[in-house]
Structure 1
Amino acid sequence: MRPIAILVACAAFTVGTLPTIVHAQSTGPSTGQASQTDAKTIWEKFKGSWNQSKGAVKEQWGKLTDDDLLEIEGRRDQLVGKIQTRYGITREEAEAQVGTWEQKRYRDM
């Protein structure tokens, strides 16, 4: 019976503090959301010109094969997955590399 009392006390504490946390998050600037939108907009440009972007992708990640590039078809998530597989890195590392590449390519466009 005692573990349930602790669980109820924890739940009551969490419920009591949740509105404060949600309120604090909702009043702050939404820079994360803005950067996601920017990344999405940037990738839409790459996807639209994928045939031209393939050369730059191959230049950046030379281990990707032509078959990989055909499979990717301008899809960011596929590119990240292929980089992760070919280079034996974590998904987070592949995401970071693609993000850096996107920003550089977008500035050069």
Structure 2
Amino acid sequence: MDTNHNKSEKSFKIPGDWKEQSKQLKEKFSTLTDHDLKFEAGKEKEMLERIGNRLRKNREEVLNIIKEINLS
């Protein structure tokens, strides 16, 4: 059984000012909390999982939401 199905996941780097982006995410998605959006270096994957769980979105959808916030 292969338990390393996440091996191919690319690492995520926060583009731009996360403080500003997290503010915009909270405005757009009122269910997100400060804890969900807490950024810790090296724990980006965990943060994406928290956001995904809260919004009921998969990793790719969360990444797309963050990209959209960046472009606005």
TM range (shorter): 0.5 to 0.7
Q: What are the equivalent positions in structure 2 for 1:62-77 lying under 5 Å apart?
A: 62-69=30-37, 71-73=38-40, 77=45
Calculate the TM-score normalised by the size of structure 1: 0.40
Greater RCO between the two (CA within 8 Å, min separation 6)? 2
Q: Which one has a larger percent helix, Structure 1 or Structure 2?
A: 1
The structure with the larger Rg is 1
Calculate the TM-score normalised by the size of structure 2: 0.55
Q: Distance in 1 between matches of 2:63 and 2:70?
A: 10
**Any unmatched runs of 5+ in structure 2?**
1-12
- Which digits, 9 at most, give the CA deviation of each residue in 1:36-85, with x for residues without a partner? xxxx6x81x314xx2x443222112221112223x325876455322211
Partner of residue 87, structure 1: 55
**Any unmatched runs of 5+ in structure 1?**
1-39, 105-109
| RMSD of aligned residue pairs (Cα, Å) | 2.8
Amino acid at match of 2:52: Q
> Number of residues paired by the alignment?
59
